[in-house]
Chains A and B, each alone.
Chain A
Amino acid sequence: AQTVTQSQPEMSVQEAETVTLSCTYDTSESDYYLFWYKQPPSRQMILVIRQEAYKQQNATENRFSVNFQKAAKSFSLKISDSQLGDAAMYFCAYRSAMTKLTFGTGTRLQVTL
């Protein structure tokens, strides 16, 4: 079965600095999708960014970008110019045509002044 591992339970970053959240996954499939979801303290989970495995180019959404290393099965999230509103739980997730959306255990990001 596919598994998603987030090895950093908590991270902290100063406002305006850059932070990278790590995620690794295990799969034997070649075609799949990877997602980063953000869950602020209000609890509504929202999509931050997604990556198609067949695309070599790393996805970018404003201050959020990923480093997708398919061979290493790694999918890290970089947040640039961190803002107080970025404080949240961040979940990495995997999905394919054959498997349900599978989440990691999450990383709690704190943003300090």
Chain B
Amino acid sequence: ETGVTQTPRHLVMGMTNKKSLKCEQHLGHNAMYWYKQSAKKPLELMFVYSLEERVENNSVPSRFSPECPNSSHLFLHLHTLQPEDSALYLCASSWTSGSGAETQYFGPGTRLLVL
């Protein structure tokens, strides 16, 4: 897995904890994404960063806070989560084409369980 990596792969946290998910892409892309994948639901786009600027926030609760310090790294800071936030969190990266033609490359995901 050298394209898009994510750490940790598994995370268990209490509702009062603060944790961070990390994503790193080694593909030279200029756009990065956070998705939430829940069972039997389509992937939900959470955030999009293009050229290190946040360009999309799909009504995500403020307990999720993204950070993109450079074009290769993306973080998702978590605090005071709810049990319904338990899911697989996927990171992806791509070139920004503006046409929709770009292919997104996904990481393996972080399986998050909120107790």
Secondary structure class of chain B's binding surface, majority of residues: loop
Q: Chain A interface: which size bin?
A: 20 to 34
Given B48, B58, B103, which contacts A35 in the complex, CB threshold below 8 Å?
Answer: B103
Query: What is the bound-complex CA distance between A46 and B106, given in angstroms?
Result: 7
Q: Is the CB of A100 within 8 A of B108?
A: no
Task: Say how far B56's CB is from chain A's closest CB, in angstroms.
Answer: 7
Q: Is the CB of B45 within 8 A of A45?
A: no
Chain B residues 72-111 with CB under 8 Å of chain A are: 88, 90, 92, 98-101, 103-109
Q: Is the CB of A43 within 8 A of B40?
A: no
Q: Which segment of A56-64, A73-81, A91-99 sits at the interface? A: A91-99
Q: Is A42 engaged at the interface, CB distance under 8 Å to the other chain?
A: yes
Chain B residues 32-63 with CB under 8 Å of chain A are: 40-43, 45, 48, 56, 58
Beta-carbon nearest neighbor of A101 in chain B: B104
Q: Is the CB of A47 within 8 A of B42?
A: no
Specify which of A37, A103, A104 lies most central, judged by the most chain B CB atoms within 10 Å of its CB. A103
Beta-carbon nearest neighbor of A29 in chain B: B100
Q: Is the CB of B56 within 8 A of A100?
A: yes
Q: Is the CB of A95 within 8 A of B100?
A: yes
Q: With A43-B88, A45-B106, A46-B106 in contact, is A103–B100 under 8 Å at CB? A: no
A42 CB contacts on chain B under 8 angstroms? 108
Q: Is the CB of B42 within 8 A of A50?
A: no
Query: What is the bound-complex CA distance between A43 and B108, given in angstroms?
Result: 5
Beta-carbon nearest neighbor of A47 in chain B: B103
A106 CB contacts on chain B under 8 angstroms? 42
A102 CB contacts on chain B under 8 angstroms? 42
Q: Is the CB of A91 within 8 A of B43?
A: yes
Task: Say how far B101's CB is from chain A's closest CB, in angstroms.
Answer: 5
Query: What is the bound-complex CA distance between A33 and B97, given in angstroms?
Result: 12
A33 CB contacts on chain B under 8 angstroms? 100-101
Query: What is the bound-complex CA distance between A37 and B35, given in angstroms?
Result: 14
Q: With A45-B90, A105-B41 in contact, is A99–B106 under 8 Å at CB? A: no
What is the interface of chain A, defined by CB distance below 8 A to chain B? 4, 9, 32-33, 35, 37, 42-47, 50, 52, 91, 95-106
